[in-house]
Structure 1
């Protein structure tokens, strides 16, 4: 059994909701086997309050989150990513930085809950549903036997997860 801790970056445009929730979910579910980070191509500088509310409802600590630029993770001294997942269609179509370590990449796009227009109850439900989709994908990734798969098989599996 490997002691490797896999580094994962969830990338989005604003780094205010989906990527933040994915970071919190993976760090909570991974049992120390993965270390999640999040960033945006054009970070808003703020975390959407309902993203934090949703994580709290899932009993996930919300301390320490900040909206940051993905360029932080392409600089010398940044952790070398093993995986980079885009969680919004805009970020998936943008030119990404060159990530140190040549990580495996996949698009796990989900609709932006922050863009939803509705009443408070409906909006909370959209955030909750978004978090559940991300949680399910993360659980599928955590179930992969990474030590027994080659790089191409892992790449195929993580890409397939984005379609579920």
Structure 2
């Protein structure tokens, strides 16, 4: 499972960490990435704060570009979920031709909001992502029609 956002410092970081936390059976390999040339150097403080408040550990890898993931010979994602519709057309051809889905979330880091507002907004985003990811983790992956499964993952975008 690959989560994509522009800078890979907030939205995709929250999604990756949350999936790692929820996937107790380790059925998914979770990754996050951003657009080359746009990736931040560090995780956004609001993402770190939201994860800490939910007792969810940050993913072990720093923000990275999708070029870094495409180069991984071991990456064979079943799904790529874009959290930022503005980068979808720029994304590379992913190894193994995974199913694509868009779960659009606002770019909080670009708002320039004050730290307390940003932290609160990131926490709300984390809880929204968590609801979607809890449903994703509960989906039967084995023995299921792939097109129906892909549709289910795309349909999770409509949860509020």
Q: What is the TM-score when the length of structure 1 is the normalising length?
A: 0.88
Q: Look up the SS of the partner of 1:28 in the other structure.
A: helix
Q: In the TM superposition, what whole-angstrom CA distance separates every residue of 1:137-159 from its partner, at most 9, and x where no partner exists?
A: 11111121122321100111111
- CA drift at 1:63: 5.8
Preserved CA contact (<8 Å) 2:84 2:105: yes
Q: In the TM superposition, what whole-angstrom CA distance separates every residue of 1:76-100 from its partner, at most 9, and x where no partner exists?
A: 51411111000112122x2211111
Q: State how many pairs are aligned.
A: 156
Preserved CA contact (<8 Å) 1:20 1:65: no
More strand by share: 1
- Root-mean-square deviation (CA), in Å? 1.5
Residue of 149, 153, 156 corresponding to 1:154: 149
Q: What's 1:50 paired with?
A: 46
Please list every run of 5 or more consecutive structure 1 residues that lacks an aligned counterpart in the other structure: 1-7
Residue 29 (structure 2) pairs with residue 35 (structure 1): yes
Q: In the TM superposition, what whole-angstrom CA distance separates every residue of 1:25-51 from its partner, at most 9, and x where no partner exists?
A: 000100111121100013122210110
In 1, Cα distance between the equivalents of 2:85 and 2:46?
A: 21
Match runs of 1:1-164 below 5 Å: 8-31=1-24, 32-41=26-35, 42-62=38-58, 64-75=60-71, 77-92=73-88, 94-164=89-159
Preserved CA contact (<8 Å) 1:106 1:159: yes
In 1, Cα distance between the equivalents of 2:139 and 2:61?
A: 27
In 2, Cα distance between the equivalents of 1:76 and 1:119?
A: 37
CA distance 1:142–1:43, change in 2 (3 Å): same
Please list every run of 5 or more consecutive structure 2 residues that lacks an aligned counterpart in the other structure: none
Q: What is the TM-score when the length of structure 2 is the normalising length?
A: 0.90
